[in-house]
Amino acid sequence: MKELRSEGLYTTDMANVIHLFYRLESNRWQLSLRANSSAQAAGQAALRARTAYERTLGNVKAQSEKLAQDMLASVKHEARLQATVALQKRNSWEAASLQAAHDAGAGVQAKYEADSKAAAKSSADLQARAQDYVNAAGYGSVRIEIDKIEQLVMHKM
């Protein structure tokens, strides 16, 4: 039986072993090819991911710079508006102050002119009265000096 086995079965077993070995090597080779292919695909995917990340990062930087520029322009615009309003308020305040000072000055000037006219009238009245007293006293030729009368009038005021 051993002989039979060794003759027939051995050949069959050996063929099976060789066939199994061939299939195993073939599977290893296929697995190796598949692993190599998977590694290449993973590398390409990593490269694409890195490229996409760098593009995204570049877009974020560009967008943030644009946003910063827009915000700066907005702040400058608001500052210009506030400065314009402040200038308008200042100009209107200056105009109102100037008008108030002018009105106050006109009031003082009017009072001064009225007081000056009243003082001149009083001075003229006192001079005429003094002249009447001089004439009544019999000293018609004596003339009272206007300066002295004006000094007296000014002292009384």
pLDDT in tens, 79-88: 999 999 999 9
As a whole number of Å, the end-to-end CA separation of the chain is 166
Residue 145 backbone phi and psi in degrees, to 5: -70, 135
pTM: 0.41
H helix count then E strand count, the chain: 3, 0
Quickly count: other Cβ atoms within 10 Å of residue 149's Cβ. Answer: 18
How many angstroms separate the CA atoms of 37 and 97, rounded? 88
Percentage of residues in the chain having pLDDT higher than 90: 22
21-67 pLDDT, tens digit per residue, is: 777 777 777 878 888 888 888 889 888 988 888 888 888 888 888 99
Q: Which residues contact 122 (CB under 8 A, 6 or more apart)?
A: 153
How many angstroms separate the CA atoms of 27 and 35, rounded? 12
